[in-house]
Amino acid sequence: MPRHDEIADEGLRAMLQQVHDQMRGGDATEAVRTCTAAFLAMTEQHPELIGAKVAARGGEQPMVMLWPRLGANLSEDSVSAGKLAITFERDFFSSTEAMTYYDFTVETALHNNI
């Protein structure tokens, strides 16, 4: 499991500490909302993430499109526009869903040396 305390960016690390605390406190829904804000802030501070490509079936796709679609969904149009937007399709999230968003955000930050 990735560790948020290895993230170099102090602000992002603090936001992900808050996510971690919210998950430990049993508030998965707020953890997802905070994690979403952290991911969006990270892509605003590092816009090169939006253009980063990863291998996909039949070619490549933007790395940000790997963002989990568990009810806090990334708008594909926002990727094309270069300013990401995430819409909430649900009001409540489970701890497993919160952990999935947390892991993705931490792994993205660490993989990109943020």
Residue 69's pLDDT band (cuts 50, 70, 90): very high
Question: Residue 46 above 70 pLDDT?
Answer: yes
- Expressed as residue numbers, the domain containing 13 is 4-111
Task: Tell me what pLDDT residue 1 has.
Answer: 66
The CA dihedral of 100, 103, 105, 111, to the nearest 10 degrees, is -140
Number of domains present in the structure of the chain: 1
Residue 3's pLDDT band (cuts 50, 70, 90): confident
The average pLDDT across 18-47 equals: 98
Q: H helices within the chain, ranges in order?
A: 10-24, 28-45, 48-51, 76-81, 95-111
The pTM of the whole model exceeds 0.85: yes
DSSP string, 47-74: THHHH-EEEETTEEEEGGGGS--SSEEE
